Structure 1
């Protein structure tokens, strides 16, 4: 402090001590009135009957401050303030570097207050200075609370500390994540999930992105809103949230529908871009427990899903770019034309405007954000809040998967906003994986979905080398777009039967279209997550129910081509899609016309299929004749094939049929069910003569590939090539041999590199350990 600063003192030592004596509000929390603090010259008091001591201290100009001295040891401070501004002020402890505290408008410099709560380390007899520096906003200080533990205040969601990654084996680094993660067995087996893409935006029943577009003058959703609810300056999105009634929501009935549809996992909407949380959110007061339904929607979904032994997931759409950058920023405007021209939309309201209304005591800025531009959403205070909200949900509900409607990278623009999770992604993933292991008894058994990993909306254009690493570190996801080729690592595609949020009169995709998309995904190593749109009140249309029943009826007959399957060496074409399962090859026929068909990929002498021994059409007892030669497998029914029973969709029941093909080369592929190969890399579409056109490869000594099997022996199939390394073979934990995969001359695919016979009957475990250089596993042939 310089000589120009006047320190206010009392002449009597006793009164001086009294002024700085704490008013104890609890065992660990102590209160100090601002008018008792030291202050800079020119800092005045303001009479305010709503202030705890009847007055506040005004910090209006740069350089003004108040200083609280002789404080007890504390790790938290709460500042009660009033302001008409949005921005920051400065806080420093003793001589430590200062920090900026985020504040919102309380609506006035007097009569209305908010708390800023900040984690700080205050030593015994330490001092705290609150000041207005360059770029800070003016405010009035009522009092401070200092202490430890819970202050009895809600979390200040705009001043949260950095979220630390939970302790565990995963660290917030893409390389580390990819080296130790692999998609769990349940995910690889499931293939098909149901999604409840349902939140307050469903209430108007007028389509997706309603919470944004209702604030864009002239937009068709804005026009609808004005006509049916009123102008957004008077009836805004917060009012839709409050008026969201879900009296027709029957989660038990819907879960049975999803299961009848054939779904093996379920995703619920945790929060959309609108910034409303559909659960008992600690860090977002605008949530379904406090506003609108007054129900913990995610908590209810979770219990119902678990009761049906359905894998449960939560979708998080309220990412910083989407919410802070795109949905919030259009709300700080007003009409340009008409009777309401220049009248601010309701996002500009403050906590003071809520007095006497249904939302009294709630800050609209917590839902709409403070006024800001679209720049740097990942550096906003909202970004850290987002991290805590995700952590809160996973801690409460232990989801088997979490989904982000956001890219994993950070390198493309959408509506002028730089999209992606960017540097937030690795800590989000590491925190989730580590926490999940605590509730899964040390087992990593969860899935993290994010978008933009390669493909059409690639978010890594500036660092393409990261793409295969990120593909191993999580399960990438795409919206509607299906990967064009077989992918080395499993992925997910999301689609909806109709609009993402329910829209009256919108057409539905029919069951045959859904099955086509499902099989396209599965044939390329993917899964399909399907949204069944719900009315605002929670029920679904009868047409949607019928479509779900048709999908389920088809899967009950043909599910062996789907659940637990893996891609074949080629995915197929627009007439047939291939999968493998249990040693069989499955051919899903598209638009089959009850006649002969030639499957060129199943020609004799192929790298994966041996001699075909039987062809059966699932759901039919009509025998099929076949001929296999160098041109393919020619298949023909010996009589009329009747449509599948129990399916209303005529195209699906008669034209979408599945052939199960038995052959003599039913080996176990290198990534078939039961295989674990953490840290190994997958390669597909190799066209180099390897079984199923793919390999699992290790370039790190110590990597372990393993599987369990029953049999008396096996052959290990692997390529041999120049410069290859060696691997150790263990059977039931005992070393059997060291195999050298190097050779001289040309590469030799599908070599039998190890043979084991005369094992005792029963179950065994095979482990293959990289002992030197680069090694690969192609397939196993059991005896």
Structure 2
């Protein structure tokens, strides 16, 4: 049964959370999320079938002059003969094994998992009674999200999911500009509906303004996911910050938080671009972060490749070290890292992606005690290199060195992560310099011992410039974890 808008409103009137920001500000970040620190995101759907450029293929293949437009015509034929919908029969997912996926993610050290339930293209990766254009009825004819939830819970991870439907208001609109399979008339529930003109540079207001019919449909789709799959966390991509969505995101958040109370587990919503009032969910910073630790809890989402969120044949991969540095940096500043991996169209995970995840898992198996369940220290970071605040900052190839340190606290100890040891046998932690009345150090206590995680106790000495610690970097110059045991 589909929960109607009226039923959603009635439910919220009876719950502790009401559909307004004042009531929703009672929200508290789930404890498990603060302890988890590291999760996996996956973008997988019809847009993966062509494996070309990125996950916006469904939009870009209809924009004349775009690479996707030309590639599509050369590879599949003109858009009126072979449109985006014609990828559905090709999306068979013959190698999709949900338990294999989640086992790989667990091996990587992830504690929670966020598969995308519906992307901008409008194809639902789950069983739905709202639209027939879903993976249960078409394509692989499997309840992808349902199977992934079962596998995630079997692996002991937290199951979450993501919805990117908001942008579908305009996402398929360019197909109306020439002869293609996107044309009038369209009605609610159709795959391409409503394909309205794209509002360039109008993320808060637009003309045409989203209709009640469209917004009701958006709300019911997300509530259907909540009712059927009971995720522990939701994530929304941009455009929910649009003026039209304000009353709808409030109804959705109230319903979700009330449902979590009813079912007996805490829930939360990750949002970007001030799509919600600041204290009513979890701020997400896409491909970016903050310069220092924040008093609020936050998350960054980024991908193992710089140029796409889905699998393509032209991925520009990050190094494992770049990902590990991001993890240590984010955690030191009171955040989580949600790392995206794009499975291939057939449902398999590429060997290179798997190898990267295994290497991350190996590092966390040794260094995770200062990551999982940790909190920021009084000083989050030191050194000359640091990210600029904001989104899309991780694309700037920063070079971190042996002087760049990130701090956390856990188990009564201070943890220092040397982000790039550069093959050096010593690292200097300036936060622990000799006491000077004119320059009091951040730490002025008694140290019991110092150890390098995975290597055991090491030698150290407090000097005017800082604590000089002997370290043993590995051949890959992965970040080195140092544990400072206090007396």
Question: What is the Cα deviation at residue 191 of structure 1?
Answer: 0.4
Q: How big is each residue's C-alpha offset from its partner over 1:757-783, in whole Å with a ceiling of 9 and x where there is no partner? A: xxxxxxxxxxxxxxxxxxxxxxxxxxx
Cα 1:371–1:253 shift into 2, 3 Å: closer
Partner SS state of residue 238, structure 2: strand
Partner of 1:394: 226
Are 1:431 and 2:255 counterparts? yes
Deviations 1:492-545 (A, max 9, x none): 111111221111031211211110111111011110111111111111111111
What is the CA distance between 1:636 and its match in structure 2?
Answer: 2.9
Could you say which residue in structure 2 is the equivalent of 1:448? 269
Higher strand share: 1
Name the structure 2 match of 1:307: 154
- Higher relative contact order at CA 8 Å, sep ≥6: structure 1 or structure 2? 2
Q: What secondary structure does 1:477 align onto?
A: strand
Instruction: Work out whether 1:549 is the aligned partner of 2:381.
Output: no
Larger-Rg structure: 1
> Are the aligned partners of 2:431 and 2:442 in contact in 1 as well (CA < 8 Å)?
no
Query: Any residues of structure 2 matched to 1:310-389 within 5 Å, and which?
Result: 310-319=157-166, 322-325=167-170, 327-334=171-178, 344-348=179-183, 366-370=190-194, 372-373=196-197, 374=199, 375-389=207-221
Deviation at 1:606, TM superposition (A): 4.8
Query: What CA RMSD, in Å, does the superposition of the two structures yield over aligned residues?
Result: 2.4
**CA displacement at 1:594 relative to structure 2:** 2.6
Change (3 A) 1:323 1:608: farther
Shift in Å, 1:612: 2.4
**In structure 2, do the counterparts of structure 1 residues 297 and 615 end up closer, same or farther at CA, with 3 Å as the change threshold?**
same
Is 1:662 matched up with 2:469?
no
Normalised by the length of structure 1, the TM-score is: 0.55
Q: What is the DSSP-based 3-state SS (H/G/I as helix, E as strand, rest coil) of the residue aligned with 2:293?
A: coil
Distance 1:371 1:493, change over 3 A: closer
Secondary structure of the residue that 1:366 maps to in structure 2? coil
2:71 aligned residue = 224
User: Whole-Å Cα distance in 1 between the matches of residues 216 and 185 of structure 2?
Assistant: 22
**How many angstroms does 1:608 deviate by?**
5.8
CA distance in 1, matches of 2:367, 2:131: 44
- Alpha-carbon displacement from aligned partner over 1:457-483 (angstroms, at most 9, x marks no partner): xx6xxxxxxx9xx33221111210112
Alpha-carbon separation, structure 2, partners of 1:243 and 1:386: 27
2:281 corresponds to: 474
What residue is the counterpart of 2:429 in the other structure? 599
Q: Which has the higher helix share?
A: 2
- Counterpart in the other structure of 1:417: none
Match of 1:517 among 302, 313, 326: 326
- SS in structure 1 opposite 2:190? helix
Q: Distance in 2 between matches of 1:257 and 1:655?
A: 21
Where structure 2 has 5 or more consecutive residues not aligned to the other structure, the ranges are 200-206, 386-403
Q: Which residue of 1 aligns with 2:396?
A: none
Distance 1:580 1:236, change over 3 A: same
Partner of 1:536: 345
Residues 418-451 of structure 1 show CA distances to partners (whole Å, capped at 9, x for unaligned) of xx843322221111000122222xx5x1121110
In 1, the alpha carbon distance for the partners of 2:289 and 2:454 equals 28
Cα distance in 2 between the residues matched to 1:377 and 1:301: 35
1:18-74 Cα distance to aligned partner (Å, 9 max, x none): xxxxxxxxxxxxxxxxxxxxxxxxxxxxxxxxxxxxxxxxxxxxxxxxxxxxxxxxx
SS of the aligned residue for 1:619 comes to coil
Alpha carbons of structure 1 residues 185 and 364: separation in structure 2 relative to 1, 3 Å: closer
The DSSP-based 3-state class of the residue aligned with 1:635 is: strand
Identify if the C-alpha distance between structure 1 residues 290 and 395 changes in structure 2 by more than 3 Å, giving closer, same or farther. same
Aligned residue in 2 for 1:132 = none
Tell whether the 8 Å contact from 1:198 to 1:501 is kept in structure 2 after alignment. Answer: yes
Pair 1:569-2:384 in alignment: no
Q: Is the 8 A contact 2:425 2:473 kept in 1?
A: no
Give the drift of 1:371: 5.4
Shift of 1:633: 3.1
1:201 deviates by 0.6
5+ unaligned residues in a row in structure 1: which ranges? 1-149, 335-343, 352-362, 412-419, 454-458, 460-466, 644-649, 665-783
Whole-Å separation in 1 of the counterparts to 2:251 and 2:444 = 44
Sort the Cα spacing of 1:560 and 1:471 in 2 relative to 1 into closer, same or farther, 3 A.
Answer: farther
Provide, for residues 256-294 of structure 1, a one-character-per-residue CA deviation record: whole Å limited to 9, x for no partner: 110000000001111000011111112122111111111
What does 1:495-510 correspond to in 2, within 5 Å?
495-498=302-305, 499-510=308-319
Q: Say how many residue pairs are matched.
A: 448
Once the two structures are superposed, residues 529-570 of structure 1 have per-residue CA deviations (whole angstroms, 9 ceiling, x without a partner) of 111111111111111111111000000000011100111122
Counterpart secondary structure, 1:346: coil
Q: 1:370 to 1:556 in 2, by over 3 A?
A: closer
Q: Which residue of 2 aligns with 1:488?
A: 295
